[in-house]
Amino acid sequence: MEWINPYHLQVASFVLINVILGTSIYVTLSTGQLSLGNAGFMSIGAYAAALLATKYALPIPVGVAAGALLAGAAGALVGIPSLRLSGVYLAIATLGFGEVIRAVAINWESLTGGAVGIAAIPQMGRVVLAGARDLGFSPASLGLKPNQFISLTVFLILLVAAVLTVAFFLRLGRSRVGRAYAAIRLDERAAEASGIPVTYYKVLAFSQGAMVSGLAGALYAHATSFISPADFTYHRAVEILVFAVFGGSGHILGPAFGAAFLTVVPEALRAISHYRYILYGVLVVLVVIYRPQGVIDPPLLRRMRGDRAAEAA
């Protein structure tokens, strides 16, 4: 089992967290709303999960669920008043929300640990290993070293979370809700005229996006075992946006592809990693100009499936 490399698994784990984050911005974008507050919602999920685990010693799944739900509730709270806004106004208001959350995280030292953050958050891989050992299991029986087992466990948990998240929204896209989202994105007034409760669905999408961000944040806290306000800055919000812009926001696989590609490539090409963000900037401008729908769009997916008849129709 020498080929199981903790470093590769760690990169893969970050890919999966970023895929979840890419999904979170996709959900709000699928109603035509651009939110730059996902880093803020992510931090709500991360802090809630970390505090519940460190201060109240609650089990990790409970904390992760609570973090996601709390972020979703915050999303609904922010979403309802923000519906009066659209386009760039919404983008800036949500950006402002993220910055306010970060200022609170820095200044509410008694709760959040201030700028230093929260350390020693139970790491999910270690927790699983400890639990397995109590049951008399040893990773050596699988031919794994303990650190290989830990990294592999984190990866597998995140894989399940990412696949479930993407699958949920794939399914949602084919449901009444997903069709309502698409109608709102195409033409809000026409959607309203055809009897779709636009306000309800926009708040729902906003809240779902926030909840998925919160989930990613909570998983991030338990994967890295350390969080600080520096993890949830404006740059994080922009990075999430770049996943969707580069990968494409017309289909859920777009942001997922963007997240995976933009996480792996800088790791694989060490030489360019110093210029990573400079390249991000160039990439964003080029994509917006030459392929505004992003790399992945529904026609491309249909071609890849070889479903030429559907495209011709």
Partner 1 sequence: MFLEQLINGVTLGSIYAIVALGYTLVFGVLDIINMAHGEIFMFGAFVGMLLVSKAGVPLPVAFLGAIAVTGAMGFLLERAALRPLRSRPGASNLASLISTIGVSILLENAAHRIFGAGNHPFETPFAEIRFPVGPVNVYLVQVLILLISLLLMAGLALWLSRTRGGKALRATAEDLTTAGLLGVDTDRMITVTVVIASAMGGVAGVLIGMAFNYINNQIGLSMGLKGLAIIIFGGMGSVYGAMAGGLILGLSETFVVAYGSSGYRDAIAFVIIIGVLLVRPQGLFGQAAPGTGH
Residue 34, Ramachandran bin (φ over 0: left; ψ between -120 and 50: alpha; else beta):
beta
Quick one: which segment of 41-49, 90-98, 148-156, 175-183 binds partner 1 (CB under 8 A)? 90-98
Does 261 engage in binding with partner 1 (CB under 8 A)?
no
93 binds partner 1 (CB under 8 A): yes
Note the helical H segments in 108-175: 109-112, 124-134, 146-173
The smaller minimum CB distance to partner 1, of residues 241 and 260, is found at 241
- Using CB under 8 A, pick the residue from 11, 69, 230, 284 that binds partner 1: 284
Please tell me the distance from the alpha carbon of residue 98 to that of residue 241, in angstroms, as a whole number. 14
Q: Tell me how far apart the terminal alpha carbons of the chain are, to the nearest angstrom.
A: 50
Residue count of the chain? 313
For residues 61, 207, 291 and 275, what is the CA-based torsion angle, rounded to 10 degrees?
-50
Cβ–Cβ under 8 Å, residues 70 and 45: yes
In this structure, how many other beta carbons lie within 10 angstroms of the beta carbon of residue 230?
A: 14
Which residue, chain included where needed, has tokens 């996902």?
Answer: 38
Does residue 293 interact with partner 1 by CB under 8 A? Answer: no
What does the angle CA 283 – CA 36 – CA 31 come to, to the nearest 5 degrees? 95
Among 57, 135, 271, 289, binds partner 1 (CB under 8 A): 289
Candidate residues 4, 76, 104, 230; the one interacting with partner 1 per rule CB under 8 A: 104
- Which range touches partner 1 (CB under 8 A), out of 5-13, 43-51, 59-67, 102-110? 102-110
46 phi and psi angles, rounded to 5 deg:
-65, -45
Give the per-residue contact string, 30-59, with partner 1 (x = CB under 8 A; - = no): ----x-------------------------
Q: Which residue do the tokens 């507050």 mark?
A: 37
User: Considering beta carbons, is residue 49 or 245 the nearer one to partner 1?
Assistant: 245
Residues in contact with partner 1, counted by CB under 8 A, come to a total of: 39
Secondary structure of residue 185 in the 3-state scheme: helix
Q: How far apart are CA 222 and CA 164, in angstroms?
A: 18
Find the shortest distance in angstroms from Cβ 286 to partner 1: 8
Binder among 282, 299, 303, 305 for partner 1 (CB under 8 A):
282
In the bound state with partner 1, the residue whose beta carbon lies nearer, of 137 and 280, is 280
Helix 146-173 with 253-268: angle, nearest 10 deg: 150
- Give me the least distance between CB of 95 and partner 1, in Å please: 7
Query: Which position among 5, 107, 138, 199 is part of the footprint of partner 1 (CB under 8 A)?
Result: 107
Is 85 a binding residue for partner 1 by CB under 8 A? The answer is yes
Task: Report the interface residues with partner 1, using CB under 8 A.
Answer: 34, 81-82, 84-89, 91-93, 95-97, 99-100, 103-104, 106-107, 234, 238, 241-242, 245, 274-275, 277-278, 280-285, 288-289, 292
